Amino acid sequence: MIFKRSKKEQDDTSTTRESETQRKKRTRLVKIKIPVDELTLGMQIAELDRPWTEVPVLFQGFPLQNQEDLDTLAVYCNHVYVELDEEYWETIKHDYPSAEYKQARSEAEEAHHSLHQELPRAERIFKASKKSIKELLDAVKNNKAINIDESKHLVSECVTSILANPNAMFWLSRIKDSDEYTSEHCLRVSIMAIAFGQMLGFSHQELENIGMCGLLHDVGKMKIPPEILNKPGPLTDDEFKVMKEHTVLGYIFLKQHGGFDEIVSDVAHAHHERVDGKGYPQRLESERIGMYPKIIGIIDAYDAITSDRSFRDGLAPLEALGILFKERGTHFDTDLVEKFIQMVGIYPPGSLVEMTNGETGIVLAANPDQKLKPKIEIILDTKGNFRRPIVIDLTKEQYDQDNNLYAIKKPLRDSSRDINLEDFIRGNG
């Protein structure tokens, strides 16, 4: 411990301090926050993470000359501030991550760990739900009874998983097959509706209700002729008139079969109504459209815009959010659109982003206070090849191997990279 120093040591320290004063005149020094376990001998200690009086050192500022000094700091401090030549610091800073960065990295790794802890359960529920919704839609198509209890059970399990970690279900909802658009679309809308309801403060029962609304909002499409429903291109005016009938047909089917909350059939009927009164099938004004149909209408549009179809590629999430924002107050409820954008974030979990250094990352989770700087897992190198994944938090400075600061260049459409998201997610689960 540094309780006493000999006269010679004090004289040596005094001389060193004089030389440091002279050095400061010749160079520009910067004060850097360094975790104690990253310190090396020779560094000039300028400040501690606590008052100097709480640490048994003689001077407020001293060069780190021996292991004894280092051991003392390790006992009393988590981090310290050192003074370094600015030019020298620029060459080595990527080797000395700050305390904030180490904490951010730890939080990012924790988000990664939490996400992948939930993924196995989420995947089991997701796969079972996909199978169930396909069977349910087939039953609707053939006008057979649907398994209401199974549907309710699966929605309840989706609620449980989303409450544990919504990002896991968000990741899985990025797995899309254009050949199974309708069934997967219904499931994705259900998942996002539950997550949105959680953000809006819905009770557990309300979350199950909104989840069921999402799952069944498009059942009426099973009554639409397949040559129109699956047409690989834009619909004609006459075909679109037929397509719009799915809202009424879905409502009638759900009413006839019963067993669901009243709101489920109402949502199937009204999720294409618009707040300006120009929607269908009833051209309802905003005050006559319930909250649930407004919510499902927003999510239905968002998923449709971001999904690949046989006749076009889906847009990136940021582009889709821009469309929703533009249509607020006319097509969609303004307050709900703004809250939905807040929930999804500019870079939603599971979406792809290109970094400024040319690498590709997949978003793990949003940072609530800094939506433009999410937690990301870098998965492709600059040549588009899979690399050893690294998890970063963009709210804190982190540099690549070439000392480039990690930052997002732009969001990517799912189809822009040769990535099998299903294989990747399972490999990381």
Q: Select from 287, 205, 296 the least CA-distant residue to 247.
A: 296
SS (H, E, C) 180-226: HHHHHHHHHHHHHHHHHHHHCCCCHHHHHHHHHHHHHCCHHHHHCCH
Cα(359)–Cα(389) distance, rounded to whole angstroms? 11
Nearest to 191 by CA among 176, 177, 210, 204: 210
Task: Check residue 172 and give its pLDDT.
Answer: 74
Q: How far apart are CA 107 and CA 130, in angstroms?
A: 32
Q: Which pLDDT value is given to residue 386?
A: 83
**Residue 427: per-residue pLDDT:** 56
Contacts 24+ apart (CB under 8 A), 159-162: 159/194, 159/204, 159/207, 159/208, 159/211, 161/118, 161/121, 161/122, 161/125, 162/191, 162/194, 162/195, 162/198, 162/207
Token pair 């809202």 is found at: 247
For residue 364, give the nearest of 407, 339, 396, 394 by alpha carbon: 394
Q: What is the pLDDT of residue 11?
A: 52
Q: Just give the CATH number of 115-344.
A: 1.10.3210.10
Cis check for the bond before 35: say yes or no (omega within 30 of 0). Answer: no
Query: Does this model's pTM top 0.85?
Result: no
Residue 45 near residue 62 (C-beta atoms within 8 A): yes
Residue among 161, 218, 219, 172 at smallest CA distance from 195: 161
- pLDDT, tens digit only, all 429 positions of the chain: 444 444 444 455 454 554 555 544 456 777 877 777 777 777 888 888 788 877 777 666 778 877 777 878 877 777 788 887 777 666 666 655 554 545 544 555 455 545 667 777 777 888 888 888 888 888 888 888 788 888 888 888 888 888 877 777 777 777 666 557 778 899 899 999 999 999 999 999 999 999 999 999 999 999 999 899 888 888 999 999 999 999 999 999 999 887 788 999 999 999 999 999 999 999 999 999 999 999 999 999 999 998 877 667 788 888 899 999 999 999 999 999 999 988 887 788 878 899 999 999 988 877 767 777 888 889 899 888 888 888 888 888 788 878 888 999 988 887 777 666 665 655 554
**The residue to which tokens 């979406």 are assigned:** 351
Q: How many whole angstroms separate alpha carbon 384 and alpha carbon 315?
A: 21
| pLDDT for res 423 | 59
| DSSP class of 158 | H
DSSP string, 281-328: SS--BGGGS-HHHHHHHHHHHHHHHHS-BTTBPPPPHHHHHHHHHHTB
User: Which pLDDT value is given to residue 332?
Assistant: 97
User: Mutual orientation of helices 291-306 and 204-216 as an angle, nearest 10°?
Assistant: 50
Would you give the DSSP letter of residue 58? S
